[in-house]
Amino acid sequence: MDYSIRDNKIFIKIPATNDGKFRFKTRKHNLEFGEIFSTRKINFNNDAYLEWQIGYDATAKEIKDGAKKTILKQLKFVGANKKEKYPYELSELVYFAVKNGLIPTNNLNSLLNEIKGYRNFISDRKISVEHQFQTTL
């Protein structure tokens, strides 16, 4: 992930190529998943959007092997799967947003206190998808 921080803003550079990490997709309706398109063949329009396959953490092995890079190596932790991990991508962005005052620490603490009481999770439920089509009579 190529990003920089200037003037209390985070700038993320996203190449307009489909390399799997970022997918450019198009859809006619917000309830649709969308179709991947090649930015070299099709121009952007109002139906285009970016799907970002962002990671939250990286295992110590991925960092050691060079498969993933993080600048937060001092923040090592053990994940729920008992593996040694480091913050990665989204976690780095949140870290720097807090460090630069873009997200107040008390907002994160309030959110943490709120979600501690959650008992129902989407991962515990069966998910079904319906396709919505608009027809003209």
Summarised one tens digit per residue, pLDDT across range 93-122 is 899 889 888 899 999 999 999 999 888 877
pTM of this prediction exceeds 0.75 = no
pLDDT at 137: 60
Residue 43 half-sphere exposure toward CB, CA atoms < 13 A = 2
Answer left, alpha or beta for residue 20, where phi above 0 means left and psi between -120 and 50 means alpha: left
Q: Are 39 and 17 in contact (CB under 8 A)?
A: yes
Q: Are 20 and 53 in contact (CB under 8 A)?
A: yes
Q: Are 27 and 35 in contact (CB under 8 A)?
A: yes
Q: For residue range 34-83, what is the model confidence (pLDDT) as tens digits?
A: 888 888 888 888 888 888 888 889 999 999 999 998 989 999 999 989 99
The pLDDT-based confidence of 10 (bands split at 50, 70, 90) is confident
Tokens encoding 51 = 């799907």
Beta carbons within 8 Å of 124's beta carbon, 6+ residues apart? none
Q: Are 118 and 26 in contact (CB under 8 A)?
A: no
The pLDDT-based confidence of 87 (bands split at 50, 70, 90) is very high
